Amino acid sequence: MPTTPTFRASGLASGLDTTSIVNDLVKIESRTIDLTRKQQDAFKAQVSSIGDVMSKLTALRTAASALGANGALAVRASSTNSGFSASPSSSAASGRYSLQVDELAQAARGRSQAFAGGATAQVTGGTLGLTIDGATTSVTLDDGMTLTQAADRINRSGAAVSASVLETNGQSFLSVTRRDTGFVVGQPASSALQIAEISSGSMGQPLGLAITQPAVNALVTVDGLSFERRGNVIADVVPGTTISLSRKTTTPEDLVLATSTTDTQAALKRFTDAYNDAMKVVRGALAIGEQTDRRRTLGGDPSLRGLQSALQGLVVGEANPGSSVRTLADVGIKTQTDGSLSIDATRLERAIAADPSAVNALFQTATTGIAAATTTMVDRFTLGSNSILELRKSGLDRSIRQLDSRIESLQLRVDSFRERLVKQFTAMEKVVGQFKSIGDFLTSREKQGSKE
Protein backbone atom coordinates (compact mmCIF):
# COMPACT_ATOMS: atom_id res chain seq x y z
CA MET A 1 0.00 0.00 0.00
CA PRO A 2 1.45 3.44 -0.95
CA THR A 3 2.24 5.62 2.03
CA THR A 4 2.60 9.39 2.37
CA PRO A 5 4.71 11.04 5.08
CA THR A 6 2.70 12.62 7.87
CA PHE A 7 2.34 16.40 7.47
CA ARG A 8 4.60 18.28 9.91
CA ALA A 9 3.53 21.92 9.46
CA SER A 10 4.52 23.68 12.68
CA GLY A 11 1.52 25.99 13.10
CA LEU A 12 3.80 28.43 14.91
CA ALA A 13 2.50 31.40 12.95
CA SER A 14 -1.22 30.62 13.22
CA GLY A 15 -1.15 28.86 16.54
CA LEU A 16 -3.19 26.02 15.02
CA ASP A 17 -2.30 22.29 15.29
CA THR A 18 -2.12 22.04 11.53
CA THR A 19 -0.46 18.61 11.65
CA SER A 20 -3.48 17.07 13.41
CA ILE A 21 -5.91 18.93 11.17
CA VAL A 22 -4.29 17.58 7.99
CA ASN A 23 -3.96 14.05 9.33
CA ASP A 24 -7.61 13.97 10.48
CA LEU A 25 -8.84 15.27 7.14
CA VAL A 26 -6.76 12.67 5.29
CA LYS A 27 -8.07 9.96 7.60
CA ILE A 28 -11.64 10.91 6.74
CA GLU A 29 -10.78 10.89 3.03
CA SER A 30 -9.21 7.40 3.44
CA ARG A 31 -12.36 5.77 4.82
CA THR A 32 -13.36 4.60 1.36
CA ILE A 33 -10.02 2.77 1.05
CA ASP A 34 -10.55 1.09 4.42
CA LEU A 35 -14.04 -0.03 3.44
CA THR A 36 -12.79 -1.32 0.09
CA ARG A 37 -10.02 -3.26 1.82
CA LYS A 38 -12.50 -4.86 4.19
CA GLN A 39 -14.62 -5.88 1.22
CA GLN A 40 -11.55 -7.37 -0.46
CA ASP A 41 -10.63 -9.29 2.71
CA ALA A 42 -14.17 -10.66 2.80
CA PHE A 43 -13.81 -11.93 -0.76
CA LYS A 44 -10.48 -13.57 0.15
CA ALA A 45 -12.15 -15.30 3.11
CA GLN A 46 -14.81 -16.66 0.74
CA VAL A 47 -12.13 -17.93 -1.65
CA SER A 48 -10.42 -19.69 1.25
CA SER A 49 -13.72 -21.32 2.25
CA ILE A 50 -14.28 -22.57 -1.29
CA GLY A 51 -10.74 -24.00 -1.30
CA ASP A 52 -11.50 -25.92 1.91
CA VAL A 53 -14.71 -27.29 0.41
CA MET A 54 -12.93 -28.41 -2.78
CA SER A 55 -10.22 -30.14 -0.76
CA LYS A 56 -12.80 -32.13 1.23
CA LEU A 57 -14.66 -33.05 -1.95
CA THR A 58 -11.46 -34.42 -3.47
CA ALA A 59 -10.95 -36.60 -0.38
CA LEU A 60 -14.53 -37.84 -0.69
CA ARG A 61 -13.99 -38.70 -4.34
CA THR A 62 -10.86 -40.68 -3.43
CA ALA A 63 -12.68 -42.64 -0.70
CA ALA A 64 -15.60 -43.44 -2.99
CA SER A 65 -13.29 -44.48 -5.84
CA ALA A 66 -11.52 -46.93 -3.52
CA LEU A 67 -14.85 -48.64 -2.78
CA GLY A 68 -15.67 -48.62 -6.48
CA ALA A 69 -12.38 -50.29 -7.38
CA ASN A 70 -12.10 -52.72 -4.47
CA GLY A 71 -15.65 -53.13 -3.25
CA ALA A 72 -16.83 -52.67 0.31
CA LEU A 73 -16.71 -56.27 1.48
CA ALA A 74 -13.63 -57.29 3.41
CA VAL A 75 -12.80 -60.99 3.48
CA ARG A 76 -10.24 -62.40 5.89
CA ALA A 77 -8.75 -65.85 6.44
CA SER A 78 -10.33 -67.15 9.63
CA SER A 79 -8.42 -70.45 9.67
CA THR A 80 -4.99 -71.08 11.19
CA ASN A 81 -2.72 -72.98 8.81
CA SER A 82 0.80 -74.36 9.29
CA GLY A 83 1.94 -74.81 5.70
CA PHE A 84 0.80 -71.50 4.23
CA SER A 85 -0.78 -68.13 4.93
CA ALA A 86 -3.57 -66.49 2.94
CA SER A 87 -4.14 -62.82 2.08
CA PRO A 88 -7.59 -62.27 0.56
CA SER A 89 -8.07 -59.22 -1.66
CA SER A 90 -11.23 -57.18 -2.06
CA SER A 91 -12.34 -59.50 -4.87
CA ALA A 92 -12.14 -62.64 -2.72
CA ALA A 93 -15.33 -64.42 -1.75
CA SER A 94 -16.05 -66.30 1.44
CA GLY A 95 -15.59 -70.04 1.16
CA ARG A 96 -13.71 -73.12 2.37
CA TYR A 97 -10.86 -74.82 0.49
CA SER A 98 -8.73 -77.90 1.13
CA LEU A 99 -5.06 -77.13 0.48
CA GLN A 100 -1.93 -79.25 0.79
CA VAL A 101 1.65 -78.05 0.13
CA ASP A 102 3.35 -80.90 -1.71
CA GLU A 103 6.56 -79.08 -2.62
CA LEU A 104 8.17 -75.69 -2.03
CA ALA A 105 9.78 -73.82 -4.89
CA GLN A 106 13.55 -73.51 -4.74
CA ALA A 107 16.06 -71.57 -6.81
CA ALA A 108 18.79 -73.28 -8.81
CA ARG A 109 22.25 -72.96 -7.21
CA GLY A 110 25.78 -73.58 -8.33
CA ARG A 111 29.06 -73.72 -6.40
CA SER A 112 32.72 -73.65 -7.31
CA GLN A 113 35.41 -76.03 -6.16
CA ALA A 114 37.19 -75.25 -2.89
CA PHE A 115 39.84 -72.49 -2.85
CA ALA A 116 42.53 -72.06 -0.23
CA GLY A 117 43.57 -68.53 0.75
CA GLY A 118 40.17 -67.01 1.37
CA ALA A 119 38.35 -64.49 -0.79
CA THR A 120 41.66 -63.28 -2.26
CA ALA A 121 42.42 -66.66 -3.83
CA GLN A 122 43.21 -66.36 -7.54
CA VAL A 123 40.98 -67.59 -10.35
CA THR A 124 42.15 -68.88 -13.71
CA GLY A 125 41.12 -66.60 -16.55
CA GLY A 126 38.62 -67.63 -19.18
CA THR A 127 34.94 -67.37 -20.05
CA LEU A 128 31.92 -68.28 -17.96
CA GLY A 129 28.59 -68.94 -19.72
CA LEU A 130 25.42 -68.59 -17.65
CA THR A 131 22.32 -69.88 -19.45
CA ILE A 132 18.98 -68.94 -17.91
CA ASP A 133 15.73 -70.05 -19.54
CA GLY A 134 17.59 -70.52 -22.82
CA ALA A 135 19.36 -67.12 -22.83
CA THR A 136 23.12 -67.14 -22.29
CA THR A 137 25.18 -64.40 -20.66
CA SER A 138 28.93 -64.55 -21.21
CA VAL A 139 31.19 -63.39 -18.34
CA THR A 140 34.92 -62.80 -18.93
CA LEU A 141 37.20 -63.86 -16.08
CA ASP A 142 40.60 -62.10 -15.92
CA ASP A 143 43.56 -64.35 -15.28
CA GLY A 144 44.57 -64.11 -11.63
CA MET A 145 41.52 -62.15 -10.46
CA THR A 146 40.38 -62.94 -6.91
CA LEU A 147 37.24 -64.83 -5.95
CA THR A 148 35.71 -61.58 -4.72
CA GLN A 149 36.46 -59.89 -8.05
CA ALA A 150 34.97 -62.84 -9.92
CA ALA A 151 31.78 -62.64 -7.86
CA ASP A 152 31.55 -58.90 -8.54
CA ARG A 153 32.09 -59.47 -12.29
CA ILE A 154 29.23 -62.00 -12.35
CA ASN A 155 26.92 -59.67 -10.40
CA ARG A 156 27.63 -56.86 -12.87
CA SER A 157 27.09 -59.02 -15.94
CA GLY A 158 23.32 -58.52 -16.07
CA ALA A 159 22.57 -62.21 -15.65
CA ALA A 160 19.63 -62.93 -13.32
CA VAL A 161 21.87 -64.50 -10.68
CA SER A 162 23.59 -63.40 -7.49
CA ALA A 163 27.16 -64.42 -6.71
CA SER A 164 28.95 -64.36 -3.37
CA VAL A 165 32.01 -65.84 -1.67
CA LEU A 166 31.36 -68.28 1.19
CA GLU A 167 34.06 -69.42 3.59
CA THR A 168 34.04 -72.47 5.86
CA ASN A 169 36.76 -74.53 7.57
CA GLY A 170 39.55 -72.56 5.96
CA GLN A 171 38.15 -73.04 2.45
CA SER A 172 36.41 -70.55 0.16
CA PHE A 173 33.71 -71.18 -2.42
CA LEU A 174 32.05 -69.00 -5.03
CA SER A 175 28.28 -69.51 -4.85
CA VAL A 176 25.93 -68.60 -7.74
CA THR A 177 22.15 -68.55 -7.16
CA ARG A 178 19.35 -67.92 -9.64
CA ARG A 179 17.38 -64.92 -8.41
CA ASP A 180 14.00 -66.42 -9.23
CA THR A 181 12.80 -69.71 -7.83
CA GLY A 182 11.60 -72.61 -9.95
CA PHE A 183 11.65 -73.07 -13.72
CA VAL A 184 9.28 -72.57 -16.64
CA VAL A 185 6.43 -75.05 -16.23
CA GLY A 186 6.71 -77.66 -18.97
CA GLN A 187 10.48 -77.20 -19.35
CA PRO A 188 13.15 -79.35 -17.66
CA ALA A 189 14.39 -78.14 -14.27
CA SER A 190 17.87 -77.71 -15.76
CA SER A 191 16.61 -74.84 -17.94
CA ALA A 192 16.56 -72.57 -14.89
CA LEU A 193 20.38 -72.36 -14.72
CA GLN A 194 23.17 -73.95 -16.75
CA ILE A 195 26.85 -73.13 -16.29
CA ALA A 196 29.64 -73.61 -18.83
CA GLU A 197 33.26 -72.64 -18.10
CA ILE A 198 36.22 -72.35 -20.52
CA SER A 199 39.58 -71.77 -18.85
CA SER A 200 42.36 -70.18 -20.90
CA GLY A 201 44.64 -68.61 -18.27
CA SER A 202 47.59 -69.95 -16.30
CA MET A 203 47.21 -68.39 -12.88
CA GLY A 204 45.22 -69.68 -9.91
CA GLN A 205 42.68 -72.42 -10.44
CA PRO A 206 39.44 -72.70 -12.46
CA LEU A 207 36.18 -72.03 -10.68
CA GLY A 208 34.82 -75.47 -11.52
CA LEU A 209 31.24 -74.26 -11.04
CA ALA A 210 28.63 -77.02 -10.94
CA ILE A 211 24.91 -77.13 -10.13
CA THR A 212 24.46 -78.20 -6.52
CA GLN A 213 20.73 -77.49 -6.19
CA PRO A 214 18.43 -77.94 -9.21
CA ALA A 215 15.45 -75.61 -9.51
CA VAL A 216 12.24 -76.91 -7.95
CA ASN A 217 8.69 -75.73 -8.63
CA ALA A 218 6.04 -75.35 -5.96
CA LEU A 219 3.35 -78.04 -6.00
CA VAL A 220 0.03 -77.55 -4.23
CA THR A 221 -3.19 -79.52 -4.19
CA VAL A 222 -6.39 -77.48 -3.84
CA ASP A 223 -9.66 -79.36 -3.46
CA GLY A 224 -8.03 -82.42 -5.01
CA LEU A 225 -6.58 -80.55 -8.03
CA SER A 226 -2.81 -80.25 -8.51
CA PHE A 227 -1.15 -76.92 -9.37
CA GLU A 228 2.47 -76.29 -10.29
CA ARG A 229 3.92 -72.79 -9.97
CA ARG A 230 7.43 -71.32 -10.13
CA GLY A 231 7.21 -69.41 -6.82
CA ASN A 232 6.01 -69.86 -3.29
CA VAL A 233 3.66 -66.87 -3.51
CA ILE A 234 0.67 -67.96 -5.57
CA ALA A 235 -2.13 -65.55 -6.50
CA ASP A 236 -4.01 -67.48 -9.22
CA VAL A 237 -5.22 -70.64 -7.52
CA VAL A 238 -7.77 -69.52 -4.93
CA PRO A 239 -9.80 -66.67 -6.52
CA GLY A 240 -8.94 -63.24 -5.16
CA THR A 241 -6.50 -64.64 -2.61
CA THR A 242 -2.71 -64.72 -2.45
CA ILE A 243 -1.30 -67.91 -0.91
CA SER A 244 2.20 -67.75 0.61
CA LEU A 245 3.69 -71.22 1.03
CA SER A 246 5.95 -71.75 4.04
CA ARG A 247 6.52 -75.51 4.42
CA LYS A 248 5.52 -78.87 3.02
CA THR A 249 2.53 -80.60 4.57
CA THR A 250 1.61 -84.26 4.50
CA THR A 251 -2.12 -83.80 4.93
CA PRO A 252 -4.56 -81.23 3.56
CA GLU A 253 -5.48 -78.18 5.63
CA ASP A 254 -8.71 -76.22 5.44
CA LEU A 255 -8.43 -72.63 4.28
CA VAL A 256 -11.50 -70.75 5.49
CA LEU A 257 -12.30 -67.33 4.01
CA ALA A 258 -15.04 -65.41 5.77
CA THR A 259 -16.52 -61.96 5.32
CA SER A 260 -15.49 -59.68 8.17
CA THR A 261 -18.20 -57.23 9.25
CA THR A 262 -15.61 -55.34 11.30
CA ASP A 263 -13.26 -54.86 8.37
CA THR A 264 -16.14 -54.05 6.03
CA GLN A 265 -17.36 -51.43 8.47
CA ALA A 266 -13.85 -49.95 8.63
CA ALA A 267 -13.79 -49.69 4.83
CA LEU A 268 -17.19 -47.97 4.82
CA LYS A 269 -16.12 -45.66 7.64
CA ARG A 270 -13.37 -44.21 5.47
CA PHE A 271 -16.11 -43.17 3.06
CA THR A 272 -18.50 -41.84 5.70
CA ASP A 273 -15.69 -39.91 7.41
CA ALA A 274 -14.81 -38.23 4.13
CA TYR A 275 -18.50 -37.45 3.53
CA ASN A 276 -18.89 -36.04 7.04
CA ASP A 277 -15.80 -33.85 6.63
CA ALA A 278 -17.17 -32.44 3.38
CA MET A 279 -20.65 -31.86 4.75
CA LYS A 280 -19.27 -30.22 7.91
CA VAL A 281 -17.27 -27.70 5.88
CA VAL A 282 -20.26 -26.96 3.62
CA ARG A 283 -22.62 -26.48 6.55
CA GLY A 284 -20.07 -24.28 8.30
CA ALA A 285 -19.65 -22.09 5.23
CA LEU A 286 -23.41 -21.67 4.89
CA ALA A 287 -24.09 -21.05 8.59
CA ILE A 288 -25.00 -17.51 9.64
CA GLY A 289 -25.25 -16.58 13.32
CA GLU A 290 -25.78 -13.39 15.28
CA GLN A 291 -22.04 -12.71 15.43
CA THR A 292 -21.35 -13.76 11.84
CA ASP A 293 -19.80 -11.20 9.50
CA ARG A 294 -22.03 -11.89 6.52
CA ARG A 295 -19.56 -10.32 4.14
CA ARG A 296 -16.96 -13.00 4.90
CA THR A 297 -19.23 -16.04 4.63
CA LEU A 298 -20.87 -17.95 1.80
CA GLY A 299 -24.19 -18.03 3.61
CA GLY A 300 -26.95 -18.30 1.07
CA ASP A 301 -24.49 -18.90 -1.77
CA PRO A 302 -26.39 -20.85 -4.47
CA SER A 303 -23.29 -22.88 -5.39
CA LEU A 304 -22.90 -24.25 -1.88
CA ARG A 305 -26.63 -24.71 -1.47
CA GLY A 306 -26.59 -26.83 -4.60
CA LEU A 307 -23.59 -28.79 -3.30
CA GLN A 308 -25.33 -29.47 0.00
CA SER A 309 -28.34 -30.85 -1.87
CA ALA A 310 -26.08 -32.97 -4.10
CA LEU A 311 -24.36 -34.48 -1.06
CA GLN A 312 -27.70 -35.30 0.52
CA GLY A 313 -28.78 -36.85 -2.78
CA LEU A 314 -25.94 -39.38 -2.57
CA VAL A 315 -27.41 -40.72 0.65
CA VAL A 316 -31.01 -41.09 -0.46
CA GLY A 317 -30.48 -41.92 -4.13
CA GLU A 318 -30.90 -45.48 -5.47
CA ALA A 319 -27.43 -46.63 -6.42
CA ASN A 320 -28.41 -50.16 -7.45
CA PRO A 321 -32.06 -50.20 -8.60
CA GLY A 322 -33.83 -53.53 -8.47
CA SER A 323 -31.47 -55.00 -5.90
CA SER A 324 -32.08 -55.88 -2.26
CA VAL A 325 -29.37 -53.32 -1.47
CA ARG A 326 -30.35 -50.13 -3.28
CA THR A 327 -29.33 -47.26 -1.00
CA LEU A 328 -26.74 -46.53 1.66
CA ALA A 329 -29.44 -47.01 4.28
CA ASP A 330 -29.71 -50.65 3.19
CA VAL A 331 -26.18 -51.30 4.46
CA GLY A 332 -26.75 -49.41 7.69
CA ILE A 333 -25.41 -46.00 6.65
CA LYS A 334 -27.90 -43.47 7.98
CA THR A 335 -28.14 -39.70 8.33
CA GLN A 336 -28.02 -38.18 11.80
CA THR A 337 -29.75 -34.97 12.90
CA ASP A 338 -26.68 -32.84 12.13
CA GLY A 339 -26.51 -34.17 8.57
CA SER A 340 -23.54 -36.47 9.19
CA LEU A 341 -23.51 -40.20 8.44
CA SER A 342 -23.14 -43.09 10.88
CA ILE A 343 -23.00 -46.86 10.40
CA ASP A 344 -25.40 -49.31 12.00
CA ALA A 345 -23.22 -52.42 12.39
CA THR A 346 -26.20 -54.73 13.00
CA ARG A 347 -27.96 -53.69 9.81
CA LEU A 348 -24.70 -53.95 7.88
CA GLU A 349 -24.18 -57.49 9.13
CA ARG A 350 -27.70 -58.48 8.03
CA ALA A 351 -27.09 -57.02 4.55
CA ILE A 352 -23.84 -58.94 4.20
CA ALA A 353 -25.46 -62.20 5.33
CA ALA A 354 -28.42 -61.74 2.98
CA ASP A 355 -26.60 -60.76 -0.22
CA PRO A 356 -22.87 -59.96 0.01
CA SER A 357 -22.49 -59.37 -3.73
CA ALA A 358 -25.22 -56.71 -3.58
CA VAL A 359 -23.23 -54.83 -0.93
CA ASN A 360 -20.33 -54.50 -3.35
CA ALA A 361 -22.67 -53.71 -6.24
CA LEU A 362 -24.06 -50.76 -4.28
CA PHE A 363 -20.69 -49.06 -4.76
CA GLN A 364 -19.48 -50.69 -7.96
CA THR A 365 -22.51 -50.53 -10.28
CA ALA A 366 -21.60 -48.49 -13.36
CA THR A 367 -23.10 -45.00 -13.65
CA THR A 368 -25.51 -45.30 -10.70
CA GLY A 369 -23.23 -46.88 -8.06
CA ILE A 370 -22.11 -44.76 -5.12
CA ALA A 371 -18.56 -44.54 -6.50
CA ALA A 372 -19.70 -43.43 -9.95
CA ALA A 373 -22.33 -41.05 -8.58
CA THR A 374 -19.85 -39.47 -6.16
CA THR A 375 -17.22 -39.04 -8.87
CA THR A 376 -19.74 -37.43 -11.22
CA MET A 377 -21.01 -35.08 -8.53
CA VAL A 378 -17.56 -34.02 -7.30
CA ASP A 379 -16.28 -33.49 -10.84
CA ARG A 380 -19.32 -31.30 -11.62
CA PHE A 381 -18.35 -29.01 -8.75
CA THR A 382 -14.54 -29.13 -8.88
CA LEU A 383 -13.12 -30.49 -12.14
CA GLY A 384 -11.90 -27.95 -14.69
CA SER A 385 -12.29 -24.23 -15.09
CA ASN A 386 -15.99 -24.57 -15.96
CA SER A 387 -16.94 -26.51 -12.83
CA ILE A 388 -19.37 -24.84 -10.45
CA LEU A 389 -16.97 -24.03 -7.62
CA GLU A 390 -14.11 -23.09 -9.94
CA LEU A 391 -16.38 -20.59 -11.68
CA ARG A 392 -17.45 -19.18 -8.31
CA LYS A 393 -13.84 -18.94 -7.18
CA SER A 394 -12.79 -17.30 -10.45
CA GLY A 395 -15.51 -14.68 -10.02
CA LEU A 396 -14.26 -13.84 -6.53
CA ASP A 397 -10.65 -13.71 -7.71
CA ARG A 398 -11.69 -11.31 -10.45
CA SER A 399 -13.45 -9.08 -7.90
CA ILE A 400 -10.35 -9.10 -5.69
CA ARG A 401 -8.20 -7.94 -8.60
CA GLN A 402 -10.69 -5.21 -9.46
CA LEU A 403 -10.61 -3.99 -5.88
CA ASP A 404 -6.82 -3.90 -6.04
CA SER A 405 -7.10 -1.46 -8.92
CA ARG A 406 -9.75 0.57 -7.08
CA ILE A 407 -7.61 0.78 -3.92
CA GLU A 408 -4.65 1.94 -5.97
CA SER A 409 -6.78 4.64 -7.62
CA LEU A 410 -8.25 5.75 -4.30
CA GLN A 411 -4.80 5.92 -2.73
CA LEU A 412 -3.61 8.19 -5.51
CA ARG A 413 -6.58 10.47 -4.85
CA VAL A 414 -5.87 10.52 -1.09
CA ASP A 415 -2.19 11.28 -1.72
CA SER A 416 -3.20 14.15 -4.01
CA PHE A 417 -5.65 15.43 -1.36
CA ARG A 418 -2.92 15.37 1.29
CA GLU A 419 -0.55 17.20 -1.01
CA ARG A 420 -3.14 19.95 -1.60
CA LEU A 421 -3.78 20.34 2.11
CA VAL A 422 -0.06 20.61 2.83
CA LYS A 423 0.32 23.34 0.21
CA GLN A 424 -2.77 25.22 1.44
CA PHE A 425 -1.77 25.13 5.09
CA THR A 426 1.80 26.04 4.24
CA ALA A 427 0.54 29.05 2.27
CA MET A 428 -1.77 29.98 5.12
CA GLU A 429 1.07 29.86 7.62
CA LYS A 430 3.13 32.08 5.34
CA VAL A 431 0.34 34.69 5.05
CA VAL A 432 -0.37 34.58 8.77
CA GLY A 433 3.34 34.99 9.41
CA GLN A 434 3.46 38.05 7.19
CA PHE A 435 0.44 39.62 8.92
CA LYS A 436 2.02 38.89 12.25
CA SER A 437 5.23 40.63 11.19
CA ILE A 438 3.25 43.70 10.09
CA GLY A 439 1.37 43.68 13.37
CA ASP A 440 4.58 43.43 15.34
CA PHE A 441 6.06 46.34 13.33
CA LEU A 442 3.00 48.56 13.93
CA THR A 443 2.96 47.73 17.62
CA SER A 444 6.63 48.71 17.99
CA ARG A 445 6.02 52.02 16.16
CA GLU A 446 3.12 52.74 18.40
CA LYS A 447 5.23 52.15 21.48
CA GLN A 448 7.97 54.45 20.15
CA GLY A 449 5.44 57.29 19.42
CA SER A 450 4.04 57.17 22.92
CA LYS A 451 7.51 57.58 24.37
CA GLU A 452 8.15 60.65 22.32
pLDDT digit string (tens) for 286-332?
Answer: 877 555 555 656 667 888 899 999 999 999 988 988 888 999 999 99
Angle of helix 388-451 versus helix 370-382 axis, rounded to 10: 30
**Residue 113, φ and ψ in degrees, nearest 5:** -75, 170
pTM of the predicted model as reported, rounded to 2 decimal places: 0.67
In terms of phi and psi (left: phi > 0; alpha: psi -120 to 50; beta: otherwise), the region of 423 is: alpha
Beta bridge partners of 357: none
pLDDT tens digits along 356-410: 889 999 999 998 999 999 999 999 999 988 999 999 888 888 888 888 888 788 8
- In the predicted structure, residue 171 carries a pLDDT above the cut 80: yes
CA-CA distance, 30 to 411, in Å (whole number)?
Answer: 8
Among 183, 280, 171, which Cα is nearest to 230's?
Answer: 183
Contacts of residue 227, Cβ cutoff 8 Å, sequence gap at least 6:
219, 220, 221, 234, 237
The average pLDDT across 180-208 equals 96
Say if CB 298 and CB 285 are below 8 A apart: yes
Percent of the chain with pLDDT over 70: 90
Helix, coil or strand: residue 279: helix
| 450 confidence band (pLDDT: 50, 70, 90) | low
Q: What is the pLDDT of residue 18?
A: 72
Q: How far is CA 225 from the centre of its chain?
A: 43
| 278 confidence band (pLDDT: 50, 70, 90) | very high
